[in-house]
Amino acid sequence: MNKKIIAVSVLISLLVVSAFAGTVIYYNTALNNRNSKIASLNSEIANQNNEIANLTSQNSNLNGQITNLTTANLTASLDVYDRQVATVGVDLTTITGYLPLYSLDINGSVTNTEDGTAYNAGLHVIAYDANDTVEVNITVPINSGGFYGIDAGTDAWVSRSIGLSPLQLGSLDGETTQTITIIQIFHGTLVHNWTVTPVWTNTP
Protein backbone atom coordinates (compact mmCIF):
# COMPACT_ATOMS: atom_id res chain seq x y z
CA MET A 1 0.00 0.00 0.00
CA ASN A 2 2.79 2.38 0.89
CA LYS A 3 4.38 1.69 -2.45
CA LYS A 4 1.18 2.72 -4.19
CA ILE A 5 0.98 5.93 -2.18
CA ILE A 6 4.61 6.72 -2.93
CA ALA A 7 4.08 6.00 -6.63
CA VAL A 8 0.97 8.21 -6.70
CA SER A 9 2.84 10.94 -4.81
CA VAL A 10 5.74 10.73 -7.24
CA LEU A 11 3.32 10.81 -10.15
CA ILE A 12 1.52 13.84 -8.72
CA SER A 13 4.84 15.55 -8.10
CA LEU A 14 5.91 14.84 -11.66
CA LEU A 15 2.61 16.17 -12.95
CA VAL A 16 2.94 19.35 -10.86
CA VAL A 17 6.56 19.86 -11.95
CA SER A 18 5.61 19.18 -15.57
CA ALA A 19 2.68 21.58 -15.35
CA PHE A 20 4.85 24.22 -13.73
CA ALA A 21 7.60 23.68 -16.33
CA GLY A 22 5.01 23.86 -19.12
CA THR A 23 3.61 27.07 -17.67
CA VAL A 24 7.10 28.60 -17.40
CA ILE A 25 7.93 27.57 -20.95
CA TYR A 26 4.59 28.96 -22.20
CA TYR A 27 5.04 32.31 -20.45
CA ASN A 28 8.71 32.52 -21.48
CA THR A 29 7.71 31.92 -25.08
CA ALA A 30 4.89 34.49 -24.79
CA LEU A 31 7.24 36.96 -23.11
CA ASN A 32 9.89 36.46 -25.81
CA ASN A 33 7.24 36.99 -28.49
CA ARG A 34 6.06 40.17 -26.77
CA ASN A 35 9.64 41.40 -26.36
CA SER A 36 10.25 40.69 -30.04
CA LYS A 37 7.11 42.65 -30.97
CA ILE A 38 8.17 45.54 -28.68
CA ALA A 39 11.63 45.58 -30.30
CA SER A 40 10.00 45.56 -33.73
CA LEU A 41 7.64 48.42 -32.74
CA ASN A 42 10.57 50.38 -31.26
CA SER A 43 12.47 49.91 -34.51
CA GLU A 44 9.43 51.09 -36.47
CA ILE A 45 9.09 54.14 -34.20
CA ALA A 46 12.78 54.94 -34.74
CA ASN A 47 12.32 54.66 -38.51
CA GLN A 48 9.26 56.92 -38.40
CA ASN A 49 11.14 59.44 -36.24
CA ASN A 50 13.94 59.45 -38.83
CA GLU A 51 11.37 59.97 -41.57
CA ILE A 52 9.80 62.85 -39.61
CA ALA A 53 13.25 64.40 -39.15
CA ASN A 54 13.93 64.10 -42.89
CA LEU A 55 10.55 65.63 -43.76
CA THR A 56 11.15 68.45 -41.25
CA SER A 57 14.53 69.13 -42.85
CA GLN A 58 12.97 69.16 -46.33
CA ASN A 59 10.25 71.51 -45.08
CA SER A 60 12.88 73.81 -43.61
CA ASN A 61 14.78 73.81 -46.91
CA LEU A 62 11.58 74.60 -48.84
CA ASN A 63 10.75 77.41 -46.41
CA GLY A 64 14.25 78.78 -46.95
CA GLN A 65 13.74 78.71 -50.71
CA ILE A 66 10.36 80.43 -50.35
CA THR A 67 11.97 83.06 -48.12
CA ASN A 68 14.66 83.67 -50.74
CA LEU A 69 11.99 84.09 -53.42
CA THR A 70 9.98 86.55 -51.33
CA THR A 71 12.78 88.48 -49.63
CA ALA A 72 14.40 91.60 -51.04
CA ASN A 73 17.70 93.23 -50.16
CA LEU A 74 18.59 96.72 -51.33
CA THR A 75 22.16 97.95 -51.57
CA ALA A 76 23.13 101.43 -52.72
CA SER A 77 26.11 102.94 -54.50
CA LEU A 78 25.63 106.67 -54.11
CA ASP A 79 27.39 110.02 -54.44
CA VAL A 80 25.99 112.58 -52.00
CA TYR A 81 26.99 116.22 -51.64
CA ASP A 82 25.51 119.44 -50.29
CA ARG A 83 25.66 122.77 -52.12
CA GLN A 84 24.19 126.23 -51.98
CA VAL A 85 21.77 126.72 -54.86
CA ALA A 86 19.97 130.03 -54.25
CA THR A 87 19.20 132.87 -51.95
CA VAL A 88 15.48 133.13 -51.54
CA GLY A 89 13.02 135.21 -49.60
CA VAL A 90 10.75 132.45 -48.36
CA ASP A 91 9.52 131.35 -44.98
CA LEU A 92 11.63 128.32 -44.03
CA THR A 93 9.55 126.89 -41.19
CA THR A 94 9.68 129.46 -38.37
CA ILE A 95 12.39 131.66 -39.91
CA THR A 96 11.36 134.42 -42.29
CA GLY A 97 13.59 136.55 -44.41
CA TYR A 98 16.31 136.36 -46.97
CA LEU A 99 18.05 133.01 -46.48
CA PRO A 100 20.44 130.83 -48.45
CA LEU A 101 18.98 127.64 -49.87
CA TYR A 102 20.96 124.43 -50.05
CA SER A 103 20.45 121.20 -51.95
CA LEU A 104 21.54 117.79 -50.77
CA ASP A 105 22.14 116.04 -54.10
CA ILE A 106 22.07 112.24 -54.48
CA ASN A 107 23.25 110.34 -57.58
CA GLY A 108 24.08 106.68 -58.16
CA SER A 109 22.12 103.45 -58.09
CA VAL A 110 20.13 101.11 -55.87
CA THR A 111 20.22 97.35 -56.54
CA ASN A 112 17.90 94.63 -55.29
CA THR A 113 20.32 91.72 -54.81
CA GLU A 114 17.64 89.12 -53.95
CA ASP A 115 14.81 87.46 -55.90
CA GLY A 116 11.90 89.02 -54.04
CA THR A 117 10.36 92.38 -54.92
CA ALA A 118 11.25 95.31 -52.66
CA TYR A 119 8.03 97.16 -51.87
CA ASN A 120 7.82 100.70 -50.46
CA ALA A 121 11.40 101.19 -51.61
CA GLY A 122 13.11 104.46 -50.81
CA LEU A 123 16.12 106.21 -49.35
CA HIS A 124 15.98 107.38 -45.76
CA VAL A 125 18.09 110.52 -45.59
CA ILE A 126 19.31 112.09 -42.34
CA ALA A 127 21.70 115.07 -42.47
CA TYR A 128 23.24 117.15 -39.67
CA ASP A 129 24.37 120.76 -39.52
CA ALA A 130 27.64 121.98 -37.97
CA ASN A 131 26.14 121.67 -34.46
CA ASP A 132 25.10 118.03 -35.09
CA THR A 133 21.47 119.09 -35.18
CA VAL A 134 19.26 117.17 -37.57
CA GLU A 135 18.51 119.41 -40.54
CA VAL A 136 17.14 116.79 -42.95
CA ASN A 137 15.08 113.72 -42.01
CA ILE A 138 13.10 112.43 -44.96
CA THR A 139 12.42 109.25 -46.90
CA VAL A 140 12.31 109.76 -50.66
CA PRO A 141 11.54 107.38 -53.54
CA ILE A 142 14.45 105.90 -55.50
CA ASN A 143 13.26 107.42 -58.77
CA SER A 144 15.45 109.72 -60.82
CA GLY A 145 14.70 113.42 -61.05
CA GLY A 146 13.09 113.86 -57.64
CA PHE A 147 12.88 117.33 -56.05
CA TYR A 148 11.85 117.62 -52.41
CA GLY A 149 11.64 120.11 -49.57
CA ILE A 150 12.01 119.34 -45.89
CA ASP A 151 9.20 121.57 -44.61
CA ALA A 152 6.38 123.85 -45.75
CA GLY A 153 8.75 126.69 -46.75
CA THR A 154 11.10 124.62 -48.91
CA ASP A 155 8.15 122.65 -50.30
CA ALA A 156 6.61 125.95 -51.43
CA TRP A 157 9.85 127.10 -53.08
CA VAL A 158 10.43 123.76 -54.84
CA SER A 159 6.81 123.61 -55.96
CA ARG A 160 6.98 127.14 -57.40
CA SER A 161 10.49 126.96 -58.88
CA ILE A 162 10.96 123.36 -60.08
CA GLY A 163 7.93 121.27 -59.30
CA LEU A 164 7.63 119.28 -56.11
CA SER A 165 7.93 115.51 -56.61
CA PRO A 166 5.52 113.12 -54.87
CA LEU A 167 6.83 111.16 -51.89
CA GLN A 168 4.96 108.01 -52.93
CA LEU A 169 7.38 105.07 -52.56
CA GLY A 170 7.54 102.49 -55.35
CA SER A 171 8.86 98.98 -55.78
CA LEU A 172 12.01 97.39 -57.20
CA ASP A 173 11.87 93.91 -58.73
CA GLY A 174 14.32 91.22 -57.68
CA GLU A 175 17.81 91.31 -59.19
CA THR A 176 17.29 94.71 -60.80
CA THR A 177 19.01 98.08 -60.47
CA GLN A 178 17.47 101.54 -60.37
CA THR A 179 19.76 104.30 -61.62
CA ILE A 180 19.36 107.62 -59.82
CA THR A 181 20.32 110.52 -62.06
CA ILE A 182 19.56 113.11 -59.41
CA ILE A 183 17.55 113.47 -56.25
CA GLN A 184 17.62 116.96 -54.73
CA ILE A 185 16.52 117.67 -51.17
CA PHE A 186 16.28 121.42 -50.51
CA HIS A 187 16.91 122.80 -47.04
CA GLY A 188 17.97 126.02 -45.31
CA THR A 189 21.22 125.19 -43.47
CA LEU A 190 24.50 123.76 -44.77
CA VAL A 191 24.94 120.16 -43.65
CA HIS A 192 28.27 118.53 -42.89
CA ASN A 193 27.49 114.86 -42.52
CA TRP A 194 24.66 112.55 -43.47
CA THR A 195 23.48 108.97 -43.83
CA VAL A 196 21.49 107.68 -46.79
CA THR A 197 20.04 104.23 -46.16
CA PRO A 198 17.91 102.09 -48.50
CA VAL A 199 14.60 101.08 -46.91
CA TRP A 200 11.91 98.65 -48.12
CA THR A 201 9.35 96.09 -47.10
CA ASN A 202 9.01 92.49 -48.31
CA THR A 203 5.22 92.82 -48.66
CA PRO A 204 3.13 95.57 -50.31
pLDDT given for residue 42 in this prediction:
81
Q: What is the pLDDT of residue 118?
A: 97
Give domain limits for the chain.
1-70, 74-201
Closest CA to 105 of 78, 132, 86: 78
State the pLDDT at residue 194: 97
pLDDT along the chain (204 residues), means of 10: 62 64 71 78 81 76 57 96 74 50 95 97 97 96 91 87 92 96 93 96 94
pTM score of the predicted model? 0.66
Question: Which three-class secondary structure state does DSSP give residue 40?
Answer: helix
The whole-number pLDDT of residue 73 equals 97
What CA–CA distances, in Å, run from 85 to 49, 82, 127, 152, 182?
A: 71, 9, 17, 18, 15
Is 131 within 8 Å of 189 (Cβ atoms)? no
pLDDT at 96: 46
Strands 99-112, 177-187: pairing kind: antiparallel
Helix, strand, coil % (nearest 5) of the chain?
40, 40, 25
Q: How many CB atoms lie within 10 A of CB 112?
A: 23
pLDDT of residue 18: 65
